[in-house]
Structures are given as structure tokens and as C-alpha cells.
Amino acid sequence: MSTTTLAHDPLVRTAPAGIEPGWFDRFYVNVHAGPVAPMFMIGAGVYPAESLVDGYAVAVTAKEQINLRVSDVVTGSTLPGAVGPLSWEVVEPAVRWRVRVAENPSGIACDLTWTARTAPWGCDEIVLSDGNEVRTFDHSFQSGHHEGWVEVDGVRTEIAGWTGQHDRSRGRRHATAGQGLHLWVQGQFAADSVAFMLDLDRDNVHTLLDGAVLAADGSTDRIVAVEHELSFDDDLETPGGRLGLTTESGRAFELLVDSAATRGGFLEGAGYGRFHGKPQGSGHVEHDRWDLLDPANIPRNLGYPLTDRLSGFTRVEGGTSEQGAGIFEFAHSRSPRYRYRPGSARR
């Protein structure tokens, strides 16, 4: 019930002793072939104290975000490895997962096998307070590749070598805990993954910096400092910006983020902030479609602003540049007292 390690990679199947209400164990994977849609996000979580399991699948195309949300009541003492049409199997912990979404009314289906290409990065225990209660949770992430197929509205695409970030978390957390800006950056390059989280409070003071350059040879190089220079418009959207990174080994490079090539990746569609961990009844399935060309679909208007934007990344280091792609996750507070300011963070 503590650190998310190799041994804890599978979601729990039996409730840990003394489990508290709100405690969860979740996974998330994304699937993309580069910086241009389509992109898929699939995840699930178990909530032992609530006898509940839920999950989602999201497809982001050039014009639409298609959302599937599923939930079920757990009967008996064993927590399942499936919910509705969504199932998951840990073939080898932190090495290989299989995720499937069977035919369902949303039009999204898949059969994917994710294989790791880097070591997992286990973050330090994360402590969040909403001013009334302190909660903690564990978090890890790892880069890999997918094989298999995905399907949208009956059109099947064979997948070979598409990138996928695998994310694991467990514990209890608040939805925002008074944050000003949250970033989860996962830049995928040929030989490594630049992967880190950065949180700022509403005074633009950093409260969290954790991550590393995760190389395909299994080595890790902790990120110890980040300079951030981003821009956000009145809709709380961002075209990206510049990140200056320094690692424990002494590497220093720029990461240029282009998050304007695609839209969507709105995690409210996956159920974040309103669906996860909340009883929906037995065998619950719901789905919807969002027009990404509709200017009303913006983070400020959504019930939960967290966005996983498929983005292009350019790494500039030692006079050379390298192109990559990945997920630039962001959430800018809608509090009227907060506005992001460029700055720096150091561990």
C-alpha cells in the first residue's frame, strides 16, 4: 500500500488491511504514432473501500474526442481485472501489459500489448493538502511501445511500434489541492524519454518537481532543475513554450513544446474529477462525442481542466536539435487570483 514498485505494478486484487475511503489503485496508458492525431488514452482504477471499479477509453481524432466511461460494483472479496468491455493483464510487471476494449456502443475498441523501453521512474511520495486534510499517493511512469490494433467506428488500424507512456498511481489525492499550474511532461525521443511532473501553487511557487531522462538502455538521470516559459490564453489553452532542463549528471538542454498542432485530450471526457471512484451502479456504461472544432470546448468551460495534449517536442542540446513527440499534460487553475508566470524550479 506504499510505493508503486515492480512488485506493485499489477493493480491490487484484494483490499489492503485498514484501507481508507477514497484510496485508489490506477493505471493509464496512451498510444500515439507521433505529434499528429489519432491518440488514444485508456485507464482503470479499483477502489477497495467503495467496492468499486471503473475505467475509460478515449480516442482523439483530428475532429472529435470520443469518450467511453465504465463502472461496476465489486461483489466478493476479489477485485477484478476488467470492467465492462475494458480488461487489463500484467503479462510481466513493469515490462509488458495487455489492454483490451471489446466492442461497445462508443465505437472505440482495441487489443494492445505494451512493452517497456525504459526503466520505470518512481516518484517520491506526493503529499497534497486542500487546507483541511492531507493526502498522499504514489506515482510512477515508464515509456514503451504498443503492438496490436485500435478501432474507431469499425475502422481498424494495425499498430506496430506506436509510443505509449504507462503511468501508475495509488493512494488518496485531492482533485486540485489549491494548485496554480500542473504539468506532466512526457517527451518521447529515439533513445530516451524526458519525463517529469511540475506543480506550482497559486503564488507561482513550485511545490513539486520530480522526474528524469529515462534512456532505452535502462539508465536514468534525475531532472534537478526546470526553467519554464509557457503562455496561456484566456481560455486556459496553451500553444506550448520553452522548458530548460538540468539533470543530476550535469546535462543541460532546452525542450521546445508545440501543443498547438492538435486539440482535445480533455481528461474530463475520461471521467476525471467527477466519475472516478463514485458509484454509478452495476454494469454502468456511458459514452459521448465532443466536436473539437467547436470553440466552446476549451479547458475553462470544462468541469475539470486537466488536458493531455498530443504535442511535438524539440530538444536542443549542444548545438544540435532532435524532434520528438509525446504528451504535454497541463491544468491551469480557473481561480481568479491565479495567473501563470514564467519562472524556475529546483529540487
CA Rg, the chain, in Å?
Answer: 19
Asked if 66 and 107 count as a contact pair (C-beta separation under 8 A), the reply is: yes
Phi then psi for residue 65, to 5 deg, are: -115, 120
How deeply is 274 buried, as exposed, middle or buried, from its count of CB atoms within 10 A (0-12, 13-18, 19+)?
A: exposed
User: What's residue 172's pLDDT?
Assistant: 73
Phi then psi for residue 215, to 5 deg, are: -90, 155
- The pLDDT tens digits for 93-102 are 999 999 999 9
Phi then psi for residue 278, to 5 deg, are: -115, 130
- Please report the beta strands in 248-319, taking only residues with DSSP state E, as ranges in sequence order: 252-258, 284-291, 307-317
Nearest Cα residue to 119 out of 186, 216, 8, 197: 216
Grid coordinates of 75: 461483489
Q: How confident is the model at residue 22 (pLDDT cuts 50, 70, 90)?
A: confident
- The pLDDT tens digits for 170-206 are 887 655 557 899 999 999 999 999 999 999 999 999 9
Q: How confident is the model at residue 1 (pLDDT cuts 50, 70, 90)?
A: very low
Domain ranges in the chain are 6-346
Helix (H) or strand (E) holding 209: strand 206-215
- The pLDDT tens digits for 312-329 are 999 999 999 999 999 999
Distance CA 251, CA 292 (A): 38
DSSP letter at 104? Answer: -
- Can you spell out the DSSP letters for 25-90? EEEEEEEESSSSS-EEEEEEEEEGGGTEEEEEEEEE-SSEEEEEEEEEE--SSBPPSEETTEEEEE
* Long-range contact pairs involving 203-212 (C-beta distance under 8 Å, separation at least 24): 204/180, 204/340, 204/341, 204/343, 206/343, 206/345, 207/179, 208/126, 209/345, 209/346, 209/347, 210/123, 210/124, 210/126, 210/139, 210/347, 211/121, 211/123, 211/141, 211/185, 212/121, 212/247
- The pLDDT tens digits for 201-235 are 999 999 999 999 999 999 999 999 999 999 999 99
For residues 40 and 8, the model is more confident at 40
Q: How confident is the model at residue 241 (pLDDT cuts 50, 70, 90)?
A: very high
Phi then psi for residue 333, to 5 deg, are: -55, 145
Distance CA 37, CA 289 (A): 16
Above 70 in pLDDT, residue 127? no
User: What's residue 2's pLDDT?
Assistant: 39
Helix (H) or strand (E) holding 174: none
Distance CA 145, CA 190 (A): 12
Above 80 in pLDDT, residue 7? no
User: What's residue 17's pLDDT?
Assistant: 78
Above 80 in pLDDT, residue 129? no
